[in-house]
Amino acid sequence: MKANRLVRVILGLLCLAIFLGYAFLLGAVSPKSEDFTGGDWATYLRENYGLNPDGTPVEGYASAAQPSVDTQASAAPEEVVPAAEAPVEAAPAETAAAPEPAVDPASPYGQALANAAAQGLPTPPDIDITEWQYVLVNGDHGLNPIDYAPANLVYLNMTGDDTDIRTEYNGNRQVVDAMIAQPLIDMTQACKAAGLPVYLSSGYRSYSTQRENFERICRNNGISDGKNAEGNYITMPAGHSEHQTGLCCDITDYYHEIKNDSIAQIATVQWLGEHCADYGFILRFPQDKRDITHVMSESWHFRYVGVEAARYMTDNHLCLEEFAALYGVV
Looking only at the bridges linking them, the beta strands covering 248-252 and 281-285 are unpaired
What is d(CA 269, CA 258) in angstroms, rounded to the nearest whole number? 15
Beta bridge pairs of residue 252: 199
40 pairs with which residues across the strands? none
Q: 292, exposed or middle or buried, with CB in 10 Å at 0-12, 13-18, 19+?
A: middle
* Catalytic residue (choose from 298, 308, 321, 322): 298
Report how far residue 186's alpha carbon sits from residue 26's, in angstroms, rounded to the nearest whole number.
117
How many angstroms separate the CA atoms of 110 and 125, rounded? 11
Query: Which positions ≥6 away from 279 have C-beta within 8 Å?
Result: 183, 184, 186, 187, 190, 307, 310
Cis before residue 145, ω within 30 degrees of 0? yes
Amino acid at 304: Y
To the query of whether residue 298 is one of the catalytic residues in this protein, the response is yes
Q: Is 144 exposed, middle or buried (0-12, 13-18, 19+ CB in 10 A)?
A: exposed
- Active-site positions read 298
